[in-house]
Amino acid sequence: MASLSSNEWKAVCAKFTNAQHLTDVESRNDPENDLFRSKYKARELLREIYCSLKNFEEGDGEEHDGGESSEPEPAEQPLDGGKEDSFSRGWSSDSRAGDRAAKLAAVDYYLGVNHVDTEELSAGQEHLMNCMKHLDKCRVSSENVSLFIHVRNQLGILWAGRDETEKAQGFLETAESIYKRYMKENGSPPTDMSEYFCSEENQLTHQERTKKFELAYTHTLYYLAQVYQYLGENERAANYCYSTLQRQLQLKQFNPMEWALNAATLSQYYITKGHYMEGRHCLAAATVVSGLAGEVPSEAAAQESEAESDRREQLRQKRSDIARCWIKYCLNLLRDAKKLLEDNIGELDTDRQDELRRARRREEEEEGRKQTLLFGSEDTFDSIASVEEKVSYLLPLDFTEARGIFLVGQNYVNQAKEYFQMDGYVTDHIEILQDHSALFQALAFFEEDVERRCKMHKRRVDMLEPICNDLNSQYYLLIRRQLMFELAETYNEMMDLKLTLANRQADSQSLDSHTIKKFNHLCSASAKYFQMFLDSLCSPEGKCPEHLEEDVLRPALVARFRVARLHGKLISSSPPVQLDNLNRSLENYKYVVQYCEAHPEAAAAAETELELSREMVGLLPLKINRLKARMAANN
Amino acid sequence: SLLCGSSDSDSIKVFIRVRPLTHGTGLTTDGDQNLCLTVTSPNTIRLLSKPEPRTFTYDHVADTDTSQDSVFNIVAKNIVESCMNGYNGTIFAYGQTGSGKTFTMLGPSELDNFTDEMRGVIPRSFEYLFFLINREVEKSTKSKSFLCKCSFIEIYNEQIYDLLDTASASLFLRENIKKGVFVEGAVEKFVSSAAEAYQVLSMGWRNRRVASTSMNRESSRSHAVFTMTLESKETKNEVVNIRTSQLNLVDLAGSERQRDTHTEGSRLKEASSINRSLMCLGQVIMALVDVSNGKNRHICYRDSKLTFLLRDSLGGNAKTYIIANVHPGSKCFGETLSTLHFAQRAKLIKNKAVINEDTQGNVR
Q: Which of A233, A336, A477 to mutate to probe the B interface, most B CBs <10 Å?
A: A477
pTM (two decimals): 0.88
Three-state SS sequence of B182-214: EEECCCCEEECCHHHHHHHHHHHHHHHHHHHHH
What is chain B's Cα-based Rg? Answer: 22
Look at residue B223 and give its three-state secondary structure.
Answer: strand
Residues of B in contact with A293 (CB under 8 A): none
B359 pLDDT band (50/70/90 cuts)?
very low
Tell me the shortest Cα–Cα distance from A230 to chain B, in angstroms: 7
B282/A226 touch (CB, cutoff 8 Å), yes or no: no
Dist CA A324 CA B290 (whole Å): 17
Surface-to-core class of residue A66, CB atoms within 10 Å of its CB (0-12 exposed, 13-18 middle, 19+ buried): exposed
CB contact B167 to A (< 8 Å): no
Look at residue A87 and give its three-state secondary structure.
Answer: helix
Contact assessment for residue A343 and residue A332, using Cβ atoms and an 8 Å cutoff: no
Stretch B218-235: mean pLDDT: 86
Tell me the shortest Cα–Cα distance from A548 to chain B, in angstroms: 8
Q: Which of A265, A348, A610, A616 to mutate to probe the B interface, most B CBs <10 Å?
A: A265
Residue B257: pLDDT above 90? Answer: no
Give, in order, the Cα–Cα distances in Å from B216 to each of A38, B98, B186, B256, B324: 20, 21, 22, 19, 27
Task: Give residue B329's pLDDT.
Answer: 86
Give, in order, the Cα–Cα distances in Å from B119 to each of A346, B71, B104, B110, B127: 64, 11, 8, 8, 11
Look at residue A30 and give its three-state secondary structure.
Answer: coil
Q: Which CATH superfamily is domain A6-56+90-195+204-285 in?
A: Tetratricopeptide repeat domain (1.25.40.10)
Give, in order, the Cα–Cα distances in Å from B51 to each of A127, B33, B34, B48: 30, 21, 17, 9
Residues of A in contact with B288 (CB under 8 A): 229, 234, 237-238, 241, 269
How many helices, marked H, and strands, marked E, lie in chain A? 23, 0
Residue-wise burial string across A146-172, b where 16 or more C-beta atoms lie within 10 A, e elsewhere = bbbbbbbbbbbbbbbbeeebebbbbbb
Q: Domain limits of chain A?
A: 6-56+90-195+204-285, 449-539, 559-634
**Which of B119, B135, B94 minimizes the C-alpha distance to B220?**
B94
A485/B269 touch (CB, cutoff 8 Å), yes or no: no
A331/B354 touch (CB, cutoff 8 Å), yes or no: no
Residues of A in contact with B174 (CB under 8 A): 424-425
Residues of chain A with pLDDT under 70: 1-3, 32, 57-79, 81-84, 367-373, 506-509
* Residues forming beta bridges with residue B95, ordered by sequence position: B325
Dist CA B90 CA B299 (whole Å): 27
Tally of residues, chain B: 364
Residues of B in contact with A322 (CB under 8 A): 300
Q: What is the ipTM of this complex?
A: 0.84
Q: CB-CB: which of B178, B269, B364 is closest to A345?
A: B364
Task: Give residue B110's pLDDT.
Answer: 54
Q: CB-CB: which of A157, A438, A479 is closest to B270?
A: A157
A478/B357 touch (CB, cutoff 8 Å), yes or no: no
Nearest chain B residue to A437 by CA distance is B356
Contact assessment for residue B70 and residue B78, using Cβ atoms and an 8 Å cutoff: no
Residues of B in contact with A237 (CB under 8 A): 284, 288
Task: Give residue A72's pLDDT.
Answer: 44
CB contact A554 to B (< 8 Å): yes
**Which of A484, A486, A452, A454 minimizes the C-alpha distance to A468?**
A484
CB contact B360 to A (< 8 Å): yes
Residues of A in contact with B267 (CB under 8 A): 160-161
A545/B7 touch (CB, cutoff 8 Å), yes or no: yes
Task: Give residue B268's pLDDT.
Answer: 76
Dist CA A335 CA B296 (whole Å): 10
B285/A262 touch (CB, cutoff 8 Å), yes or no: yes
Q: Tens of pLDDT along A41-92? A: 999 999 999 998 888 765 554 444 444 444 444 445 555 755 567 887 788 8
Task: Give residue A607's pLDDT.
Answer: 92
Dist CA A475 CA B309 (whole Å): 11
Q: Tens of pLDDT along B314-328? A: 656 678 899 999 988
Q: What does DSSP assign to residue A73?
A: P
Q: Tens of pLDDT along A359-379? A: 998 888 776 555 556 787 777
A265/B287 touch (CB, cutoff 8 Å), yes or no: no
Q: What does DSSP assign to residue B98?
A: T
Tell me the shortest Cα–Cα distance from B175 to chain A, in angstroms: 4
Q: Tens of pLDDT along B47-106? A: 988 788 999 999 999 999 999 999 999 999 999 998 998 888 899 998 887 888 888 988
Residue B330: pLDDT above 50? Answer: yes
Look at residue A397 and give its three-state secondary structure.
Answer: coil
How many helices, marked H, and strands, marked E, lie in chain B? 8, 14
Nearest chain B residue to A445 by CA distance is B361
Dist CA B187 CA B165 (whole Å): 7
- A-B interface: how many C-beta pairs under 8 angstroms? 223
Contact assessment for residue A285 and residue A261, using Cβ atoms and an 8 Å cutoff: no
Q: CB-CB: which of B2, B88, B296 is closest to A332?
A: B296
B23 pLDDT band (50/70/90 cuts)?
low
Dist CA B28 CA B22 (whole Å): 9
B281/A481 touch (CB, cutoff 8 Å), yes or no: no
Look at residue A37 and give its three-state secondary structure.
Answer: helix
Tell me the shortest Cα–Cα distance from A413 to chain B, in angstroms: 13
